[in-house]
Structure 1
């Protein structure tokens, strides 16, 4: 029998770890996933019930239900031919040359399913968060991240070979000739992109990726494509700057996207477009299209038709479904209680910042100003984005609806460039079991779906709720002061507000956090301390602040607090999925999230009488404290 003093995660979750089964259509099961499964079941029943009596007072929900019904009409999906798909693929096949490709770029963006070998996105400007900026990056890779392309990676050949074979089968289903060669050429172009792509560690330090380039300099540097006219066509304006997020891709663009590589680029575009179409077609193609992702994570079988039906609907109507979920399942009492916890946590942070023993008073006061400016959103948004009013289900096939929706959403993306940023917009639907901090708006968001046991329950004790959702709330607040969030000011701008000596001290503490996790072994391999440092800072800040708040409530129970903390991180997953997370996920492995942060807190040792010979023991001199 495992003791808490030796392994908090294993001891608290022993029965669950023994009995929990990974669903055959998922790579893992966790406290989060258990709520997802519950939500899927409830929403499928809700949408099916609504299908029999379409809502007349909610136009957006009515269209979502109509799309849901069409996604689940398998008789129609099996009978439909591939005319619409072939028409989309023909837009790529008919590109006769690299010059022709350049001339068609704007049409390809707004009126086709063709992926491009580069990406322009519209996001809040990190240094001017009330306005949007146009960002530039690479199109992404076939494998999960750059580490998978190392010659010594054990799955590199297996995954790339399977992707090529699987893609060829998909292309053949659409009548594409020379399918094997096209799929092989797509892999060749992908290989060209690898050296210029950001690593997962680089993406994790997102505040350091902001690289503004004057538009004139940008379009002058890239000479294989005339981007000046293209950019104006995208946003109907002439931006003063382009934000480059992948410097190596920008620097080597002319060597990657050019006439010499056109055959490979065209094959890559065609293959990607064909793969995407499979989700909206027959059962055979749906299963075939998901085979690569299942192999990647060692998922045993495809999602059921019923779950797939819901998945597709959420793809386009996520906020609509989320608002419906929030209105039905989230109560006023729970919202008031969680709001109480949020403001209690903010108060704790104020005090911890004022009493901090390593920050100057000047920096601490500015940190408190930022803290006081944080806006919490709880439950579900007050309104839906206007774009949902334009998503109308047509008389054609499911795939044709998806093509139309993509055109509407693409147009909306680039329209936003000329508008002010709406900082009340939620970037996560209310039925998603998660939470987030947004540095560009200085907001914390707690969707209704995460406000359930084991994270939160009105019937749980205050200590349990603080060990669960309280720690999650404080975790998100902590992101305002992690290695990325700390570089943004109270208005959401990337702006240096620290004194130099304070930030240097903070960087030293970041290094201590990196060292605390780096190389720690898990069942799937060693942890990468650099990749997961921001989330680990937030975890440590979260549990510390939540503990402080819990101790102020009546009938505090520290054992219940730490036990609940361990419960919310419970997880079982396939080895392949865990290995993928180790290479690219900015969160620490679940067991490390549960076990390491408590060892930095004196109260943990007191609660369970942990002694120097116990495995969970950490010397006082090695206990890390940041916030």
Structure 2
């Protein structure tokens, strides 16, 4: 156990300080620590298994894994990738360069979308957040086009990181353009136009804080009105064709963007827009080419994250193939390294945790009886996904790799698969939402709550030490996975999740007085974190409020559960809470997360949250004047 004085002054550092001093961030990582250690362990297991399968040391009788391995071979064949150079990209680039007007683009818009070519707006099929009743339908959604920089705030005049990152992106893009045959002068002109077009979109985009407010993303407009807003993009018929019918409406996440669309995209801006298309095509697809292209095309990402080197070739090929066959690889991992018995054990633990939450809701003192009862109904209706899915998505059975010896290239296979996935997604339009679908694969070290599905999901990969282990005490497990489980349950009652009912519909089930009190308490959580210094910047309390409310609720419920075990050890509980958040990251990565991540920095998640609990003060003897002391009236308790 760490020194008592240290524990009372900087709890996170007292638990993790020695580890942080010694820990080294691998050159191909931007961070190391709790979560990342588990990621590395999962990678090692899977890469080892797949290498053994290729060598005939491990048998495989799953045709989907066989197909994954074929694609993995294509991705890992750097000899062929280097030999081909820019050749696989040429047909895609020529297609973009052949566009001479919006009319040209409109004619091939359907194929353009299916092939994944860039456009200055995104359309997709996702659940209707306001569908009433248990059967929810998938509808058409639209969002503004992606920017070069990570967030709109990077375009603000006072943001020094913006111009620095844009300079890195410019240098990278110009280099890639010369590698596909452009002269240095041509590359400069193309990139100058692309930046001009990119900057013209930025004022009408939402920033990360605005995008984190789910209720304000739901803006239905008539389809005819949406098509009219697209101006020169006369693609109403093409969208109807893609969906198999003409939609009545579109849910728009960024209304301001589409209201101003014709200011950005018009006949006058067409030349700059076309060069923006060229830059996006080259930068997005270069990583599937030769080693030189892969190294150059990763420059911007590495500058953004502070990662010193690109991933090694074999690992990058594995990541690429695994990303494409995500559920297939996840299913293999879950069944081999987690299994049915553990799946049931953890499911029972989640049920127990929802029981604790239910009890706390029933005993809540600031909610009215009507809202309490509805909250319990929502909790009781929550679906639980643990370990790995019960069924494989049909779309993976359609992926057929064209091997190198049959004339296949990595980029060719990637684009074929992208088309299959896009067709599959769009085919779900106006059909019931599949509540069994997993948004994460089982080999992902993470967990999530889906407000529109009212479900929580705990993939197999996170269900290991230090989060969960039979070798750890019950108190340690509750400080780790228990708090994570309750955190995800708490998302049903965070400032976003609380707006959805038990069927996952965006519909207010609160009394006016209760919602007012909830907002007041959430505001206290915003204030507790807002402005805290970190990585040379300051925390945006509004950006991180939903995750902080979930952390507060998760820790509260896990603590309650730990106290009711046979041999509660609250020291072990709090220590493991701090341990799971241990992290060492590059300054660049910390600054990036500070701007765009809805989670508070790891150290603050560990330190600030425990200050809200009387049990922490009692367990470690924290007194006024200690660094970990917070006055009782400042302590935030929501759930």
TM over 0.5: yes
- Give the CA deviation at 1:211: 0.3
Which of the residues 175, 189, 194 maps onto 1:169?
Answer: 175
What is the aligned partner in structure 1 of residue 44 from structure 2? 41
The CA deviation string for residues 513-567 of structure 1, in whole angstroms up to 9 with x for no partner, is 1001000112332111000000000000000000000111111000000000000
2:441–2:459 contact (8 Å) kept in structure 1 = yes
Separation in structure 1 between the aligned mates of residue 77 and residue 223 of structure 2, nearest angstrom: 48
2:459 equivalent among 435, 447, 451: 447
1:285 aligns with 2:297: no
Moved more, 432-441 or 275-284: 275-284
Cα distance in 2 for partners of 1:605, 1:127 equals: 44
Question: Which residue, out of 503, 512, 525, partners 1:513?
Answer: 525
Given that residues 53 and 60 in structure 2 are in contact (C-alpha distance below 8 angstroms), is that contact kept between their aligned partners in structure 1? no
Match of 1:373 among 376, 381, 385: 381
Give the number of aligned pairs.
626
Report what 1:65 is aligned to.
69
Q: Partners of 2:444 and 2:464 in 1: how far apart?
A: 12
Q: Find out whether 1:571 has 2:580 as its counterpart.
A: no
Name the SS of the counterpart of 2:429 in structure 1: helix
Structure 2 counterpart of 1:137:
143
Q: Distance in 2 between matches of 1:8 and 1:559?
A: 12
Matching residue of 2:100: 96
1:15 to 14, 18, 28: 18
Could you tell me how far apart the structure 2 residues matched to 1:293 and 1:81 are?
22
Q: Provide the C-alpha distance between the structure 2 equivalents of 1:321 and 1:383, rounded to a whole number of angstroms.
A: 13
Q: Confirm or deny: 8 A CA contact 1:137 1:244 kept in the other structure.
A: yes
> In the alignment, is the contact (CA less than 8 A) between 1:165 and 1:183 conserved in 2?
no
**What corresponds to 1:4 in structure 2?**
7
CA drift of 1:113 comes to 4.4
Which of 118, 123, 140 in structure 1 is aligned with 2:121? 118
Residue in 1 that maps onto 2:159: 153
Superposed CA offset, 1:276-308 (max 9, x none): 222221111111110111011211111001210
TM-score under structure 2 length normalisation? 0.96
Q: CA deviation at 1:221?
A: 3.7
| Contact preservation (8 Å) 2:127, 2:433 | yes
* Alignment of structure 1 residues 82-481 onto 2, 5 Å: 82-110=86-114, 112-128=115-131, 130-177=136-183, 178-394=186-402, 395=406, 396-481=408-493
Following superposition, the deviation at residue 56 of structure 1 comes to 6.2
| Distance (Å, rounded) in 2 between the aligned partners of 1:522 and 1:79 | 46
1:572 match: secondary structure: strand
2:83 corresponding residue in structure 1: 79
Tell me if 1:533 matches 2:545: yes
Contact 1:164 1:183 in 2 (8 A): yes
451-460 vs 172-181, which moves further? 172-181
Match of 2:506 in 1: 494
Report the CA distance between 1:81 and its aligned residue.
Answer: 4.4
Q: Using the alignment, how far apart are the partners of 2:517 and 2:525 within structure 1?
A: 13
Whole-angstrom distance in 2 between the partners of 1:575 and 1:404: 38
User: Do the aligned partners of 1:88 and 1:113 also contact (CA within 8 Å) in 2?
Assistant: no
Instruction: Give the superposed CA RMSD.
Output: 1.4
Partners in 2 of 1:161 and 1:614 — Cα distance? Answer: 45
Residue 260 of structure 1 aligns to a residue whose secondary structure is: coil
TM-score between the two structures when normalised by the length of structure 1: 0.98
Aligned equivalents of 2:370 and 2:233: distance in 1? 49
Counterpart among 18, 27, 30 of residue 27 in structure 1: 30
Q: 2:619 aligns with which of 603, 607, 614?
A: 607
8 A Cα contact 2:86 2:290, kept in partner = no
Does the CA contact (< 8 Å) of 1:377 and 1:446 recur in 2? yes
Unaligned stretches of 5+ in structure 2? none
